[in-house]
Amino acid sequence: MATITETTKKEVKEIVYSFFAEECEVDIGQINDNTSIIKDLDGDSLMFLELIEMFKKKYNLDIELKVIGKYAVKHPVATIGQLIEMQLLIIEYENRLLELDQ
């Protein structure tokens, strides 16, 4: 289980903001934690999947996508801020993510 530091939080936030700015062709200054991924950015599940794959590689994470899928059913993500929170939990708990609900 990884320890989430302030550096990690900052890094994840920067990656998520940059990713959506590039993918959705919007100015990064227009994105904030309350930005709706679908309504404001026209984001989709493939982008979510791509982002997860990026983090899996970057942090060498051991996590199955279906674990994230099961967690997301109970904790749906709508905004950039919620997505960052989920990514931090994925980095911290990996395949033990579902234990958070127990």
Residues that bind other proteins (CB under 8 A): 44-46, 48-50, 53, 64-70, 72-73
Asked if 51 and 72 count as a contact pair (C-beta separation under 8 A), the reply is no
Q: Locate tokens 């982008």: which residue? A: 47
**Residue closer to other proteins (CB basis): 32 or 44:** 44
Beta-ladder partners of 40: none
Least Å distance between CB 49 and other proteins? 6
Query: Distance between CA atoms of 14 and 49, rounded to whole angstroms?
Result: 18
Least Å distance between CB 1 and other proteins? 21
Least Å distance between CB 59 and other proteins? 18
